Structures are given as structure tokens and as C-alpha cells.
Structure 1
Amino acid sequence: MTAGGNETLRDSIPGLERVFRSDIEAPKVILVTGPPGSMKTSFCYSIMSTYLQKTGQFGLYVTLEETAASHVTNMRRLGIPPSPNMEISDFTDLRELDGVIDEEGSTDYVQFIQQTVEYTKKKHGDKFTVLALDSLGALYSLMEDNDNIRKKMFYFFKMLRDQNLVSFIIMERSPGGPSSLLGNEGFLVDGIIELGLDRDRGKMARFIRVEKMRACQHSMEKHTMEVGEKGGLTVLGPSLG
């Protein structure tokens, strides 16, 4: 995924080229999975912020778990600066929509996010290239009808591909658990990135591992990931765990 030069997504976090031997090309829907504390949000925000800053392209970060202000504050504390080329749409936006449309009815949150994506694409055109949804579990909790969730997700992911985006979909996952919640998401996506915690040399260490990534050459080993001394994330060599 390149634009305005040779910058790629795999260049956006130091050491990530150890994991990805070729770049992540659009369109792609990628699950970013892991337990609490594995830095799923930080990973997605970091890769997007750096990539957008270097390329001048535009990204949309949809967070359903905290306000935009809280999100930016947390990222600053980790040494990950916000990008002027990224819009953050938070949970407050969705709750306000309920009151505007129909106080008695319920918002179709999937449709709302789709309309937000389509509006952003119309506004920024081909410069809009990367999206994050934080998180899929939070989205499911807002959906009243889970009977046809796999069908809904199929068409939602198809819409993201039709917009020619690289989309990072954050999903909570228990250690060693399957990459699915209610709709067998692992079968519907193009890639799965697992973030986790392992004991390495007597200490707990974070790792990144790519389970699958269509049309991309990548390692399947666990690589240690840490917050650098100056802030931000860094991917180190293969972990021993």
C-alpha cells in the first residue's frame, strides 16, 4: 500500500518489516485480535498515524469503547502523536444519532458506520485509504438482532473492500481462543493479526503474530513487541515463547 512515494504500512512501526516481507495491499479486512492489555488499540492507531503522517493520505478511526478525547490522551501517553489526517468518530456520535432519528427506535449501528465510511470516501476520495473499528465486540453489543450476524458481517466487510480500504477490525480474544465471536469472523476476513502476552525469560512480554494475510508474504512466528524508551511501539525479533 503505497502513495506519494515508497512509504508502506509495514514501515509504520519500527521492526514491522521483520513480520511482513511484502506490504499489506488494499483492499483488505484484517482482524487485530488479542486479550486485554495486548495493545490492540495502540497497534492500530500507531500504524495508521505514522502511515498517514508520512503519505498525506486520510484515515478514519471509529471507536465505540471510549470518547475521542480519551482515546487521543491515552495514545499521547504512549508517545503516539495524533495525525491531522485522521478523523476519530467515537461512541458519543452514535448515541446522539439515536436521539436525532427516533427516540423510540434503535439505531442500525452497522448502517451508521457504513454511511460514515461512504461519506468519508466521498469527501476525501482516493486519499481515504485506511480505517480502524474499535471494537467488533462493542459493535455486537449494540446490535439487537444477532440472528443473521454472519450475513451482516459478510456484507459489511464487502462494503469496506468495495471502498478499497485497508481496514483494521479490533476484536477481543482469549489467549489460545478461536478467532471468532458470533459470526465466524475468521473465515470472512482477509487477514488475522494476533497480539498477545507470553512469559519470556521469566518476564511477561507482548508479541505479534500473523495467522494469515492474503496476497502478502509474512512470517508466522511470534515477534516480541514493546513500547520504546521514547514512546511508540517497536517490533523486535522472534520471541522464545
Structure 2
Amino acid sequence: MYQEERLIGVIQFLKEKRRISIDQMCEMFDISRDTARRDLVKLEERKAIVRTRGGAILPRTHTAIQDYSNRLNTVSYEKQQIGSKAASFIRAGDKIILDTSTTVQACANQIPPLEVTVITNSIHQAEILSNLESVSIQLLGGYLQKEHQFLYGASVIERLKKYHVDRAFIGVVGISEAGLTIAHEEDGMVKRNMIKQAEQVIVLADHTKFGVTEFFSFADLNDVDVIITDRLPDEDFRQCLNEANVDLIVTEEEGPGIWT
């Protein structure tokens, strides 16, 4: 097999598995470790991979995070389905936390008229729920992040520490073996403390968030109880979730839709 054929094979493998080792390359292509290393050097020179100890990964891609108003205009059918499933977890008398993400907003839009206490740092979530007489809202005060419409800072975190809730509904920009990640550190610090105050942590993430690692890590996989998504992630990541004791609920699946 020519080198170019091997390089194409390596990239295809990385797109599916996200990581490749030199030993895997030797077995796949029946080549020596020195040849495998030379192939990785060639791919690195083309900026197609990032070399790691003993192998390689694909380089991170950075997607610009739209402001909140633009993201609201692109709330997809899949996010609406995720939000509907998340809302079905809420029971009368619950005390819950809702973060600022648009997927969590899809949940807020579908909360039934129950006696529920909601704690949030999102102006939009509070505005939506203000139309439900049965919902009591605790809006966490702090500095306003104008572009993305959330409140943050030491006062938000100190206030959060006073509450203990049944469930926290958390959105992410990325979810991978590195855990839960977000683009803005100030948002991530609030999310981290929301998770600490909840008996059950439910992450809402459409399939585009899997395998993505963003700038700021705010939680590990084992901090999560349930992930609700629209498509089943790959087998390797499902194994990571299983090891972290995370229940996976896939909205497109028929039947109970719970994977472990």
C-alpha cells in the first residue's frame, strides 16, 4: 500500500474513532512502527492531525458561538424533542435549576403548569416561565453578560450555594472524554456550581456536541446522571458513559430509549 493510501485510511479512522495509536496503524496497514511514525509526521506537516504520545488525534475545530438572539432563531426540531423529554422529568413540587442554554430553553418552553420552583441565571428562561402562575422563579442576580443574556459573577455563585434542588438541567457546547465544556469561563463557573447543588444532573446535548472539547471544562462525566440527546453517539463514547454510570436517553429511538 502506498503512503497516500495509508494517510487517507488514517484520516478516515480518526473521523470515526477520534484517536489512533501507532500500534493500531501497524496492525491495520502491516507496517513497522518507524513507517507509522513517518506517516504521522507527514500528516502533521499538512496540519491534518495533532500527534500525541503513541499516536494522533484530529485537530480541534473552533465554531463561532452565535449570540443568544441568533441561537434562538436556530433552535432545531431535535432540540425541541430533547427539551420535551427533559420537561417530562419534572414533577409537581420539584425545585429545579435551569441554565442559560437554548436547548434548556426548549425545556423551559415545555414545562407543564405544575407547582415548581425554578432557579436560573437566564433572563430568557425567567421571562418564559413568568407566564406560568404555578411556577415560582428565583432569578440569580449578578453581572449581565449582554451578548448571551446570562447573569454571572461571585454574587450568582454565592446565592447558588444557598439552594439545594431536585434536578439541574444543563446545556453544553462540547461533551467528550474530557467532560463537559463551554466557551465562556464565567458561564462555566456558574454551571459548575449549579451541578453541585442538585440531586440529579440532566445534561441536554444534541448530537453535534459529542466529541467536541471547548475552551473551559466545568464538569466531569461522572458528575452527570442523565444525558438526553437526539442521536446515539458512537460505541466508544457510550462505553465512557457506561463507565461513568451515566444514563443515556436518545429521543429518536423507539421504546424506552435508555442506553447504559
Q: Same fold (TM over 0.5)?
A: no
| TM-score, reference length from structure 1 | 0.41
| TM-score, reference length from structure 2 | 0.39
- Tell me which structure has the larger Cα radius of gyration: 2
Q: Which has the higher contact order (CA 8 A, sep 6+)?
A: 1
